[in-house]
Every structure is written in C-alpha cells, then in structure tokens.
Amino acid sequence: MDGKGVYLGRWPSRRAADVARDRATLYLRLDRPLRQATEARKLGPASPAQLVLQAKHLEKKRTTSRFLGVSWHTKQKFWRATIKARGRSYGIAGLYNEEQAAVLRDRLALHLLGKGAVLNFPGRKLKAASYEQIQRELREARSASRYRGVAPRVVAQRDTWSAQIVIRQRGHFLGRYDTERQAAIAYDRAARHYLGRRARLNLPALARRYVPADAATLRAEAHAELKKTKHSRFHGVSRQRALWSASIVHRYQVQRLGSAFATEEEAAAAYDNAALRLHGRKAKLNFHPETGEELCGQRVRGRA
C-alpha cells in the first residue's frame, strides 16, 4: 500500500480489530501474516469501506439503549433521556444509570401524554413529573451528599454513590462506590491529580494515604471493586441487586439473556442454552449437558 496505512474503523476489542485487519489483508491480497486467521477466513475478505461501515454499526449498537427514549452520550460518558411532546423536545442528561434514565423518561411521559403514553415500565406505579420537577429532583439528589463532588447514584434508591469532578467546565465521571466516604476519597484523589495544591478536599486529613489519580484510573478501580461484588462462579452470570442476570458474547456483541433470575443456577442454565445454540460443540458450559456436573465455563471434552 506504498507505506500508507488504511483506516478500518474503531473496534470494541483488540481481537475484533485484528480480525478486521486480517479480512482487509485477504481482500487486498497482501503478503502479511494473519493474527486471527481462522476467524478471518471464516468471515471472508472485506474491503476497508465495508469494515468501516461494520465498525460504525457495532458502535451504534453498543451505544443504543434497550429502553425507549434513552441513549448513551459517547463523549461525555453518561445516559440521557429524551421525549418529544406538544411540539417540543425535552432532554434529561448527565445520568449514570440507564434504568434511572428510563424511569425519568416514563415519569415525564406520563405528565406530558397522560395514560396514553408508551412506557418502558408499564407495570410500575410511577408518579408523573414535569420537566422542571425532574430537574429539581436531580439537583437535590446531586447535592444530597455532605461531600464535594459526590451524589447518590439513583434518586429513589440511595444505596450507591457516584463521584464526579469538573475541570475546565467539563465533567469527569470517577466511578460508582458502595459508600459516600469512598466516593469522597475518589474525588479528593482526582482533585489532587488535576488541581494540585489548589484542590479543595473533602477529607484533607487522609490526603497522604491515597495516591492522586486521573478519572480513567479511578473509574477502572471502581469497576474492579464493583465486579467483585457481582462475581459469580458461573460463566456469563452476574449479580443484579437481589437477582441474577445472564449474558453471552457472540460475534463481538453482548447479548443479554435476562436480568431477573431468582437463582444463580437458573441464570447459568440460560447461558448454557444460548451457548449451545450459538457456539455448538465449542461452547463453554456451566453444566455438563448429560450428567449435570458443574463445569463453570469449561468445554465438554469428547463432544461430537
């Protein structure tokens, strides 16, 4: 290609990007080794233009919510809810919980459209609220903490706390935390990283105990801790409050299989059914299909 690179799009993982590179290599008939040869040959050659379109399609699917009127703001990293009614568009932004955005959208829809509104949660008893009332509730929730940069994660259920810092008029999300104090410490670490000695801290007496960190580092740490509390011994299973959810990855896309399983085993069985259907004999299973023995994510050896 005369030493010039060819853009193939933005992909969700290193493996997906390698497959795209290999497919373009096959299409352009370049004399280069393939990184994911089996997968690339299975999918077949593809032109750079085709790959860019596929990457954009995947990006769109990842940022599309399963809820009506809810979308993900890619640059600012938050959820927003929108609804059109009475010739006007209403938007509620800055939400870090997809379900919360859907609930607020439904409450606003009930206020604007009445009983004829199409809702995300028709079975829930939601209280209608005007746009101004919802904004007021959000402001009150975000200022409900005694610590700077800390807010309850959900308006109605304040059992999880989020941290955020504003630098040069841009908000940086710092993660979700189990306690208000943990969120306050995260804010202080970010403040020391971005503002140095000018930072106004929540807990100055603890400043020396914690290393300053940027927003990305704090989000990663918070996510790792959150993952520990949601961990399951079964493959494709995670905890969702008092219930269990199951999901599976197929062709680089996460497919949700349900989020209201009463037991961990039921979610694991739902994953196995999907794994056998999508991956066949290569499926990693939680239970042996014949004996019922727990495998917890292993392949069944000797299967035809």
Query: Which regions of 203-252 does DSSP assign to beta strands (E)?
Result: 237-240, 243-250
Q: How far apart are CA 91 and CA 72, in angstroms?
A: 13
Write down which residue in 228, 257, 281 finishes a domain: 228
Condensed to tens digits (0 to 9), the pLDDT of residues 272-304 reads: 999 999 888 888 888 888 878 777 777 776 555
Q: How far apart are CA 87 and CA 97, in angstroms?
A: 28
Joined together, the tokens standing for residue 114 give: 């009445």
Write down which residue in 97, 124, 142 finishes a domain: 142
Q: How far apart are CA 24 and CA 13, in angstroms?
A: 17
Shared domain for 158 and 200, answered yes or no, is yes
**Cβ-Cβ contacts under 8 Å for 97 (sequence gap 6 or more):** 79, 153, 154
153 domain-assigned? yes
Shared domain for 215 and 260, answered yes or no, is no
Range of the domain at 93: 66-142
Shared domain for 150 and 216, answered yes or no, is yes
2 domain-assigned? no
Shared domain for 215 and 171, answered yes or no, is yes
User: Does residue 229 contact residue 239 with C-beta atoms inside 8 Å?
Assistant: yes
1 domain-assigned? no
Shared domain for 203 and 178, answered yes or no, is yes
Q: Which of 22-36, 106-120, 146-160 has the lowest mean pLDDT?
A: 146-160
Shared domain for 100 and 45, answered yes or no, is no
Joined together, the tokens standing for residue 206 give: 């603890």
Condensed to tens digits (0 to 9), the pLDDT of residues 64-109 reads: 678 899 887 766 667 889 999 888 899 988 776 788 889 999 999 9
Give yes or no for residue 242 having a pLDDT over 70: no
304 domain-assigned? no
Shared domain for 125 and 183, answered yes or no, is no
**Cβ-Cβ contacts under 8 Å for 254 (sequence gap 6 or more):** 247, 248
- Tell which wins on pLDDT, 38 or 11: 38
HSE-CB of 199 using CA atoms within 13 angstroms? 23
Shared domain for 102 and 53, answered yes or no, is no
289 domain-assigned? yes
User: Does residue 43 contact residue 23 with C-beta atoms inside 8 Å?
Assistant: yes
pTM for the structure as a whole: 0.41
pLDDT at residue 158, as a whole number: 40
Shared domain for 208 and 160, answered yes or no, is yes
Pairing relation of β-strands 150-152 and 243-250?
A: unpaired
Shared domain for 250 and 224, answered yes or no, is no
Backbone φ/ψ region at 176: left (φ over 0), alpha (ψ -120 to 50), beta? beta
4 domain-assigned? no
Query: Which regions of 96-221 does DSSP assign to beta strands (E)?
Result: 150-152, 161-167, 170-177
Write down which residue in 142, 176, 205 finishes a domain: 142
Shared domain for 56 and 91, answered yes or no, is no
Give yes or no for residue 195 having a pLDDT over 80: yes
208 domain-assigned? yes
Alpha-carbon separation of residue 165 from 168, 181, 189, 193 (angstroms): 10, 15, 10, 11
Max CA separation in the chain (angstroms):
66
Q: Which of 48-52, 209-213, 220-224, 230-234 has the lowest mean pLDDT?
A: 230-234
Supply the CATH number for residue 179's domain.
3.30.730.10
Torsion over CA: 4, 9, 14, 15 (sign): negative
Query: Which regions of the chain does DSSP assign to beta strands (E)?
Result: 70-73, 78-85, 88-95, 150-152, 161-167, 170-177, 237-240, 243-250, 253-261, 284-287, 294-299
Q: How far apart are CA 195 and CA 214, in angstroms?
A: 11
174 domain-assigned? yes
Shared domain for 152 and 221, answered yes or no, is yes
User: Does residue 118 contact residue 104 with C-beta atoms inside 8 Å?
Assistant: no
Q: How many domains would you assign to the chain?
A: 4
Q: How far apart are CA 30 and CA 6, in angstroms?
A: 12
